[in-house]
Amino acid sequence: MTLAEKILAAHCGKASVSPGDFLSVRTDLVLSNDITAPIAIREFERLGVSTVFDPKKIVMVPDHFCPNKDIQSAEQAKMMRDFARKHKLVYFEVGEMGIEHVILPEKGLVLPGEVVVGADSHTCTYGALGAFATGMGSTDIAIAMATGEIWMKVPPTIKFVFHGKPGKWVGGKDLILYLIGDIGVDGALYSALEFHGEAVEKLGMDGRFTMSNMAIESGGKAGLFHVDDKTRSYLKGRTSRKYKEYRSDPDAAYARVIEYDTSKIEPQVAFPHLPSNTKPVSQAGAIAIDQVVIGSCTNGRMDDLRIAANILKGRKVDPHLRLIILPGSQQVYLDALKEGLIETFIRAGAAVSTPTCGPCLGGYMGILAAGERCVSTTNRNFVGRMGHVKSEVYLANPAVAAASAIAGRIAGPEEIK
């Protein structure tokens, strides 16, 4: 069996499972946010049950419109807050919180071998820890909150092997954008992506979170890494809970095996209006931009901020654009403050804000007007994703984003350093 199949089999009491099997799967963690939780809460209350299956295994994080941007978002957050307090759920409030997919691993709430479901498509982020994690609709999440189980069709697994050593400015964002550019936004539809090879082994955990996070942008159900010493080191001190590591069998049956020579991959830019519309940064052309966003559940972690600060240090943001930096959590913000990164950003002319999803989904704190262009380290660049339907979003890694903020146009870090 593959890694995904082994985890699912262990959570349904079967010795083995195969792609296409329908299962009732026990969940280890159920997640929702300030957009999706209110729907799940209403559906949960319609069930007529008095309490959740296990309050320690249900997490709610108000991160999309919090701190609240308007009355409607305040009402949604209050509904979520009241429900979480009533049922004594794991809940993170403004001041302690951060972006859900950054803080759950950070706080040791997700472990290898677990099944995690969330009412957010980027729940697949936790596959970086060797967990089977996937997004679901809010009504399914209501059932999971009540029963601790979900139904699941076992996905086929596609094995992606990244051979060779990545270049200086090439990170997890570039590997996953290159993959999506190759197979398309539906190239792994309802499949588990399994990442292998020398290049992914060299990635730190932050880069792995980025790759798993964007598995959904290829249509994937989950994006998984095997546990290694880097995973174990990351988990050390974050939890006292025991966990089980799973590995794919040597004779595991994959739907496909796709191999890449990483040495030939340079920093990627996804042009409007799909994550699959990728080009190497050297072929991007001199495209003037109005805004740069560095942050999100994709690239709002410490390694991302360090890379950006390395390029911005001692330099100034182009006066014709806005650079917005959003640390992924309060802990990331504090660590960046201690390292002097925040001062570097502010001296460069950036606006540094509280942890929030904010502009990624066109929420607030960086909405685009008609005709404006933005280079962003976020995960989607659909029409109207960050504001006006006539605006444009270009996806890139933190190095390209920082270099572009200095140049005033899409630029590679080699042009700056």
- Which strand ranges, in their side-by-side order, compose the sheet holding 115-118? 90-91, 58-61, 29-33, 115-118, 132-135
Residues 241 and 111 in one domain: yes
As a three-state string, the secondary structure of the chain is CCHHHHHHHHCCCCCCCCCCCEEEEECCEEEEECCCHHHHHHHHHHHCCCCCCCHHHEEEECCCCCCCCCHHHHHHHHHHHHHHHHHCCEECCCCCCECHHHHHHHCCCCCCCCEEEECCHHHHHHHHHCCEEEECCHHHHHHHHHHCEEEEECCCEEEEEEECCCCCCCCHHHHHHHHHHHHCCCCCCCCEEEEECHHHHHCCHHHHHHHHHHHHHHCCCEEECCCCHHHHHHHCCCCCCCCCCCCCCCCCCCCEEEEEEHHHCCCEEECCCCCCCEEEHHHCCCCECCEEEEEHHHHCCHHHHHHHHHHHCCCCCCCCCEEEEECCEHHHHHHHHHCCHHHHHHHHCCEECCCCCHHHHCCCCCCECCCCEEEECCCCCCCCCCECCCCEEEECCHHHHHHHHHHCECCCHHHCC
Residues 402 and 366 in one domain: yes
pTM for this entry: 0.94
Residues 18 and 37 in one domain: yes
**What pLDDT score does 189 carry?**
95
Question: What confidence tens digit (pLDDT) does each residue in 260-292 have?
Answer: 999 999 999 999 999 999 999 999 999 999 999
Average the pLDDT over 25-49 and give the result: 96
Q: Which of 240, 260, 280 is at the close of a domain?
A: 260
Residues 232 and 308 in one domain: no
Average the pLDDT over 112-120 and give the result: 97
Nearest Cα residue to 61 out of 88, 96, 27, 87: 96
Question: What confidence tens digit (pLDDT) does each residue in 372-414 have?
Answer: 999 999 999 999 999 999 999 999 999 999 999 999 999 999 9
On the CB side of 154, CA atoms within 13 Å amount to 24
**Is the predicted pLDDT of residue 323 greater than 80, yes or no?**
yes
* Tokens describing residue 404: 């572009």
Residues 49 and 112 in one domain: yes
Average the pLDDT over 118-128 and give the result: 97
**What pLDDT score does 331 carry?**
96
Residues 222 and 313 in one domain: no
Residues 174 and 321 in one domain: no
Question: What confidence tens digit (pLDDT) does each residue in 363-378 have?
Answer: 999 999 999 999 999 9
**What pLDDT score does 417 carry?**
63
Average pLDDT, the chain: 96
Domain that holds residue 306: 268-415
What is the residue whose two structure tokens read 């996804």? 270
Residues 197 and 278 in one domain: no
**Is the predicted pLDDT of residue 209 greater than 70, yes or no?**
yes
| Domains held by the chain: number | 2
Residues 325 and 185 in one domain: no
Residues 249 and 343 in one domain: no
CA gap 95, 115 in Å, rounded: 28
**Is the predicted pLDDT of residue 327 greater than 70, yes or no?**
yes
Residues 244 and 354 in one domain: no
Q: Which of 260, 285, 314 is at the close of a domain?
A: 260
Say which CATH number the domain at 165 has. Answer: 3.30.499.10
Q: Give Cα 27 distance to the centre of its chain.
A: 20
Q: Which of 260, 276, 293 is at the close of a domain?
A: 260
Question: What confidence tens digit (pLDDT) does each residue in 65-77 have?
Answer: 999 999 999 999 9
CA gap 329, 103 in Å, rounded: 6
Phi, psi of 211 (to 5 degrees): -65, -45
Residue percentage of the chain with pLDDT more than 70:
100
Nearest Cα residue to 175 out of 259, 91, 112: 259
CA gap 182, 83 in Å, rounded: 43
Residues 250 and 378 in one domain: no
Nearest Cα residue to 158 out of 76, 72, 237, 219: 219
Average the pLDDT over 18-25 and give the result: 97
